[in-house]
Structure 1
């Protein structure tokens, strides 16, 4: 809902910054609040997190960093606090590279990320970070690879949705789709292959 906040930094704490805009102070949780300086105008890209008991703004220096944060939130076992801790390293490009290279040893160094969660991050995000990587790590993919990965990733996501519509549980789908990620198929082919595996 709020894409970004541009204003004067009124307060900096170890957990968040307060940015004043038009007389309103926005409390924004960021990976590393101390990159912002008090009394300086800043543009902070924001993500609004809403739950029954929480309404919070999370802020980032770039749209790419924000995009990586939202993708991490989609990983089972990763919440806003865990995603912020991963981004707090100050080098999101390294995180993208670790995911693409399946470097579990790098990922488990982050607070709250064990081997199981590191494996889940890789399973859920590998091949889906081209939009982030083009800015953060321009040398990680060639343009041709990005196109192929984007297309395959879109097809796999569509296949996932199709299987949900067919009545398969998320748990069942997650057992078979990861094994198809390395193949570059059409949506229809992904669905057929997944069904073959599900019906064994």
Structure 2
């Protein structure tokens, strides 16, 4: 079992990270909650989870053990696999996921791609006891309002990543366009994060 990787970031194409560990390149899938905080280049440390199925061996990476633990609890829920777990942590910050569960906020959870009402209700019911000891911060983290310029490559990367996370192409295009009306961005990670947040209730 691979539990932790420390290496140089060679490539970032949401949601995939290519990490060079002593000459071996590991392709790691990471939620945007992790992806957004990684350096463009340089050394990164990821706490990993190896998922083995009949069709694929996939390695998932997280910036903290707590985030990985939440992912592992999510994929234990009936009907929630690694892909959906990745979508949950890409659409909402870990603290937001826990808050939605503890507050029975089914509506917020159904905004996540692939999560219908029944799945959202299962998440609340099955996860409530698992996250009851989670320490939520007194205040929620704010959005990144840094104003920068976007280009075609960033738009393409952002749309591709959102489709990989489960959104339909039309939904991804619409969300990205909505964000760009009020924000200027130069990083695809930032654009993806803002587009995903724009699809949450109250956004």
Alignment match, 1:154 = none
Alignment match, 1:77 = 79
Comparing both chains, which one has the higher relative contact order based on Cα–Cα distances under 8 Å and sequence gaps of 6 or more? 2
Q: When the two structures are superposed, what TM-score results if normalisation uses the length of structure 1?
A: 0.64
SS of 1:82's partner is helix
Q: Specify every segment of 5 or more residues in structure 2 that has no aligned partner in the other structure, as ranges.
A: 140-203
Q: When the two structures are superposed, what TM-score results if normalisation uses the length of structure 2?
A: 0.63
Q: Output aligned runs, 1:128-143, within 5 Å.
A: 128-130=130-132, 133-134=134-135, 137-138=136-137
Alignment match, 1:115 = 117
Q: Output aligned runs, 1:1-200, within 5 Å.
A: 1-32=1-32, 33-89=35-91, 91-130=93-132, 133-134=134-135, 137-138=136-137
SS of 2:129's partner is coil
Q: Which of the pair is proportionally richer in helix?
A: 1
Give the CA RMSD over aligned residues: 1.7
Q: Specify every segment of 5 or more residues in structure 1 that has no aligned partner in the other structure, as ranges.
A: 141-200
Using the TM superposition, give the Cα deviation of residue 37 of structure 1 relative to its aligned residue in structure 2, in angstroms: 2.8
Matched residue count: 137
Using the TM superposition, give the Cα deviation of residue 139 of structure 1 relative to its aligned residue in structure 2, in angstroms: 5.6
- Name the stretch that deviates more: 82-91 or 110-119: 82-91
Counterpart-to-counterpart distance in 1, 2:55 and 2:91: 28
Alignment match, 2:182 = none
SS of 1:35's partner is coil
